[in-house]
Amino acid sequence: MRYTSLGSTGMTVSRLCLGCMSYGASAWRPWVLDEEAARPFFRRAIEAGINFFDTADMYSLGVSEEVTGRALREYGRPEELVIATKVFFPLSDRPNMGGLSRKHIIQGCEASLRRLGVETIDLYQIHRFDPVVPIEETLAALDHLVRSGKVRYIGASSGYAWQFAKALGASERHGWARFVTMQNHYNLLYREEEREMIPLCANEGIGLMPWSPLARGILAGARQSITDRDASIRAATDTYGHGLYDERVNWAIVDAVRTIASERGVPMAQVALAWLLSQPQVAAPIVGATKPQQLEDALGAVSLVLSAEEMAMLEAPYRPQPVRGIA
C-alpha cells in the first residue's frame, strides 16, 4: 500500500479508501452485505494496509456505522486508522432528522460517535449542501464539534464550486474550521468536476476522495450496455445509479479501458482506478467491494502506472455532459 497526506492536513491516509455503504443491513438495500459477510472485507483491507474508511449515518440507517465500528475495533489499531462519516440525509421522515441545521449536525454527530464506538470522528463530512440552512449556521456547528474534540477534520461531498468557495470563504472570515476534503463524483466517464471544482480544490489545498470511481461497475466491465440490469443485484435495483449513468454513457471510453487492460493483462478496474490515482489532487478514491476479487482488483491499481500514451487514449473520447451527482 502507498500513503499520502489528506489534502493540506498532516493526516496520513492510504491511497484507497474503503467505502462502507455496502456493509450494514440487506433490508436497507438488497445488495448490502450483512455483518458476517462484511467482516472479511474489513480484515483484508487492513491486512493490505488500507487505513481509510468512509461511511455515513444514512447507510443502512445507522447500521453501517455500527458494523464498521465493530470491525475496525477488532481488526485495526484506532490510532492508525482514519474513520470518516457523513451527515445530511434523513434517517426517518420525522422532524429534525436530516439536513444541516445546528441541531441536526450536533445530534447526528453524537449518534454517529455512539454507533462507531469512538470518542472522536477523524473526518466528519456534510453529505450534500443544504439549500435551506445558511452555510454560516452549518459551519459554526461543525466548528463547535472540532473545538469540543468530537471531530478532528471536516469535509464536504458533492456540490457546485461556488457553494464550496462560499463555505471556504465563510470559514476564513470567522476563523472557523474549514473543509479539508471534497468527496465528489469523478471518474473516466464523468469528468465535469475538472472544470471548476478540482481547480478550486487544487488552489485551496483540498484533498479529493472521489465516489463512484468505477461508475457503478461500468468501467470494470460489469455491464455491456446501460440496459444490462442483470449484471448484478445492484445494477437492477440502484435507482440513484440509473440517474447517474444512462443512455449517454460514452462506450468509447469503456472500450479504451478494455483495450489497455487486455494489453496489460490486468482487470479493467485496475486501469480505471490507476487513471484516477494519477490525478494530482486525488488523495484516495472511495472503492466499494461486495466480492473479494473487487477488493483485490482495487489493491492492484495502486501500483499500476499508466503511460502518457495510455492516459491520452483513455481521455481522448470524453465529451462534455450535464452535471450529475450533486443532489
Binned at pLDDT 50, 70 and 90, residue 227 comes out as low
Active-site residue, from 59, 124, 186, 190: 59
CA distance 90 to 79: 30
Determine the Cα–Cα distance for residues 158 and 140; give it in Å rounded to an integer: 20
Examine residue 163 and state whether it is found in any structural domain, yes or no. Answer: yes
Task: Indicate whether 320 belongs to any domain.
Answer: no
Decide if 323 is inside a domain: no
* pLDDT the model gives residue 327: 79
Residue 73 belongs to what domain range? 3-315
- pTM assigned to the model: 0.94
Domain assignment of residue 321, yes or no: no
Mean pLDDT of the chain: 94
> Would you state the pLDDT for residue 236?
55
pLDDT at 234: 59
What is the average pLDDT across 140-160?
98
Asked, for residue 76, whether it belongs to a domain, the answer is yes
Which three three-digit cell numbers place residue 211?
Answer: 465516489
- CATH code of the domain covering residue 184: 3.20.20.100
Reply yes or no on whether the pLDDT at 51 is more than 80: yes
Cell numbers found for residue 263:
494489453
**Residue 226: per-residue pLDDT:** 61
Count of domains observed in the chain = 1
The helix/strand/coil state of 135 is helix
Spatial separation of the C-alpha atoms in residues 106 and 88, rounded to whole Å? 11
* pLDDT confidence tier of residue 62, bands split at 50, 70 and 90: very high
Alpha-carbon span 315 to 306, nearest angstrom: 12
The answer to whether the beta carbons of residues 2 and 16 sit under 8 Å apart is no
325 falls within a domain: no
Window from 15-29, 44-58, 85-99, 233-247 with minimum mean pLDDT: 233-247
Is the confidence at residue 47, as pLDDT, over 60?
yes
For 231-261, write each residue's pLDDT tens digit: 656 555 555 555 678 777 999 999 999 999 9
Question: Residue 75 catalytic?
Answer: no
Query: CA 211 to CA 290: how far, in whole Å?
Result: 16
Report the chain's terminal Cα–Cα distance, integer Å.
33
pLDDT tens per residue across span 66-76: 999 999 999 99
In a domain, 322, yes or no: no
Q: What is the pLDDT of residues 156-165, one digit of tens each?
A: 999 999 999 9
Mean local confidence (pLDDT), 152-179: 98
How far from 163 is each of 128, 177, 179, CA to CA, in Å?
10, 16, 12
Q: Is the pLDDT of residue 19 over 80?
A: yes
Q: Which helix (H) or strand (E) holds 173?
A: helix 161-174
Residue 326 has pLDDT above 90, yes or no: no
Q: C-alpha cell of 23?
A: 456493509
The answer on pLDDT for 200 being more than 80 is yes
